[in-house]
Amino acid sequence: MKHSLLKIYTTVFIAVGLLILSFGAGWYVAKENGENTQGQSGSVFSLHKHQNVDLSLFWNVWDLLDAKFVPTHGTSTAMTDQERIYAAIEGLTDSYGDPYTVFFPPVESKSFAEDVSGNFQGVGMEIGIRDNVLTVVAPLKDSPAEKAGILSGDRIVEVDGQSMAGFSAEEAVEIIRGEKGTEVTLTIRRESVREAFQVPITRDEIHIPAIDTELTEDNIFVIRLYSFSAVSINQFREALREFIKAETDKLVLDLRGNPGGYLDAAIDMASWFLPEGKVIVREDYNGEAEEDAYRSKGYDIFTDELKFVILVDGGSASASEILAGALQEHGKATLVGTNTFGKGSVQELVSLSEGTSLKVTIARWLTPEGVSISEGGLTPDIIVEFTEEDIENREDVQFEKAVEILLNQ
């Protein structure tokens, strides 16, 4: 690598301390505020008094169901009072029409915590709701889902013959997840395939990968980042150290299929390429509070001699979009691939009583120039789509375009 690629304070690269914060690119963690008020019937009937809300209709319906309901078919279930309260709260959150605002009863709350920690059993894919349809954001690297051929953008219409219409992503996760060695069959609709088709997947232990590196024959250094986890900050720093040792000025950061993760990881990674104080992402509260801006820490060790391409696709979401959007708008990297997923909202995870929790959307992410990430995702500088022939021949035309750009700069 030419010495001009690095700024003269390269020693900062080794010496900088890295702080891992407790919030993510898609969610924050918070504790319950306020006290529970116990009613005469225990926690089920605990009420938070709102002067302008009349709950008499709710309790009238509750009492009528208690007095009159008779199950008439096999799908009717006898619910405990606590389960009915949970169902009522779920109905309240559903009424907001936001797929990312979700109430978690105890079992689901525990499962979500396992997802965050990165250790669980299942098929290994990130799913979300797009156009009211359960959609694969990205299968994880080397996961059962990836090995079975699941692709970003696949729409899941059935799980083991059960329609997913009307299910939230969290509800679908509970059905798809299962013990290692068991099988689940997904019915998939894919744009390139005329008819829906079934994909059987054997569940396994899932470990979320972080990063891979490679130096190609063309002397291009490649960093493949699979998630923005708690360990990825240090791993990315080590990858950049390898890049420097490789003595090349050509870098590819592959964020394809990366569903996101911790916000602080995206901020830290962007800081290696941006001067201190440059805006990386804005947090907009839609007028409810003053906008926040997350700025570069200013590691900024590379000069303008760096030749840099970032690969993105429909599986690049959340923290991936924050990092790619910042480096694109500040002119540090060329984006190649297809439009990103468009996960540009911020959720706060609030721990509640009895092992329950609430994930609630509190803001939206904007790029440094104020563009909403949720509005169709990021658009690459150079759009490269795969043809059916590319897929059959296993040709990575997006990576080939990145190589072409770097070799001709």
Active site residue 318: yes
Tokens describing residue 366? 């904007």
Residues with Cβ < 8 Å from 304, sequence gap 6 or more?
Answer: none
Tokens describing residue 228? 């923005």
- Among candidate residues 250, 307, 343, 401, the one labeled active-site is 343
Q: Nearest CA to 373 among 362, 363, 381?
A: 363
Residues with Cβ < 8 Å from 95, sequence gap 6 or more?
Answer: none
Q: Which of the 8 DSSP states describes residue 372?
A: B
Tokens describing residue 93? 């959150």
The span from the CA of 284 to the CA of 275, in Å, is 23
Q: Measuring CA to CA, how many Å separate 14 from each of 186, 196, 217, 301, 322? A: 46, 51, 27, 11, 25
- Among candidate residues 152, 227, 318, 345, the one labeled active-site is 318
Tokens describing residue 87? 């169902």
The span from the CA of 168 to the CA of 354, in Å, is 22
Query: Residue 205: beta bridge partners?
Result: 121
- Among candidate residues 316, 329, 357, 401, the one labeled active-site is 329
Tokens describing residue 319? 């923290």
Q: Which of the 8 DSSP states describes residue 195?
A: S
The span from the CA of 166 to the CA of 102, in Å, is 14
Active site residue 227: no
Residues with Cβ < 8 Å from 289, sequence gap 6 or more?
Answer: none
Active site members:
318, 329, 343
